[in-house]
Amino acid sequence: MSEQSVITVRGLVKRYDDLVAVNNIDFDVHQGHCFGLLGPNGAGKTTTIEMMEGIIKPTSGEISYRGHKSLDEISHHIGIQFQNTALQDYLTVRETLKLFSAFYQHTVAHDELIELCDLSEFLDRDNRQLSGGQRQRLLLALALINDPDIVFLDEPTTGLDPQARRHFWQLVKNIKAKNKTIILTTHYMDEAEQLCDEIVIIDKGQIIERGQPFKLLKKHFSNTFIMLPKEQVPADIVTENGWQIRDDRVEISTANVEQTLADLMAKGISLQGLHVQSANLDDLFLKLTGHSLRE
């Protein structure tokens, strides 16, 4: 284990009868990093994080926390935001913070939590009346209430609208700025690229790639993608050039955007609706597995 490793996972396996949900995976999580577990639904992300949280036991393998083999020894240093958490009805946000504070000997001051998780606008609102984004911000505050060093976030923005997701991302960045270690599971590529210092990509219970997001993209892609509406590009030209069709668009991979645009115009192809983008993590997953991460 390196000196900076907070969590070390070695040979982790989880079987359910004939199903191997997690298949012999290894990784290290470093202090102050946001570590991402990426993969489609059913890939093994939640099973992995639940073993790390001590909720379920591995079939085999080992998880160490700052050198300790038992989570019990450092459980007070951990905070968890689950995918689904029931909140007490008929309590306000303020009362919920007070209730959860009673579970711990050491807690963060409520004023600090309220500011960090941006709760002030709905402190006196009944939990039943919270929007999806407000509920997630409260659950994040509850995960932080014991001032943990390690914070687990399991699919924290699933079901949120784009504005609420981006608001939540900023909260996570604020928490990371306090040198807390974050373990995040997600199937949103933009989320991982925004938040994660390092990722492992999981498919069918196995790690298929790992590293820093920008380095992985640099490693696997040297080209830029040009997108055009499918109806603007004759099918024979698509076939002749080996271009890909993605839904209603033609995808052109090129190392020289200016030359490719000149070639398209020379062929009489309209550039209306053109979109140029660099490869993202979803493109990487598609390249590695042959199917989209969101499927």
Average pLDDT on 235-263 reads 91
Q: How confident is the model at residue 295 (pLDDT cuts 50, 70, 90)?
A: very low
- Rounded to whole angstroms, the Cα distance separating 184 from 173 reads 12
Residue 110 has pLDDT above 90, yes or no: yes
Average pLDDT on 268-279 reads 90
Enumerate residues 6+ apart whose C-beta is below 8 A from 231: 248
Domain ranges of the chain: 5-218, 222-278
Mean pLDDT (the chain) is 90
The two structure tokens encoding residue 124 = 């006196």
- What is the CATH number assigned to the segment(s) 5-218? 3.40.50.300
Which pLDDT value is given to residue 293?
A: 58
Share of the chain above pLDDT 70, in %: 97
Which pLDDT value is given to residue 237?
A: 92
Considering only CA atoms, give the Rg of the chain.
Answer: 22
Average pLDDT on 138-142 reads 95
Average pLDDT on 168-180 reads 93
Segment holding 215, helix H or strand E? helix 213-220
Residue 140 has pLDDT above 50, yes or no: yes
Q: How confident is the model at residue 50 (pLDDT cuts 50, 70, 90)?
A: very high
The two structure tokens encoding residue 249 = 């668009």
Q: How confident is the model at residue 291 (pLDDT cuts 50, 70, 90)?
A: low
**Maximum separation of any 2 CA atoms in the chain, in Å:** 72
Share of the chain above pLDDT 90, in %: 69
Which pLDDT value is given to residue 292?
A: 62
CA dihedral in degrees (165, 171, 174, 179; nearest 10)? -90
Q: How confident is the model at residue 285 (pLDDT cuts 50, 70, 90)?
A: confident
Residue 25 has pLDDT above 90, yes or no: yes
Average pLDDT on 30-52 reads 91
Length of the chain: 295
Residue 2 has pLDDT above 60, yes or no: no
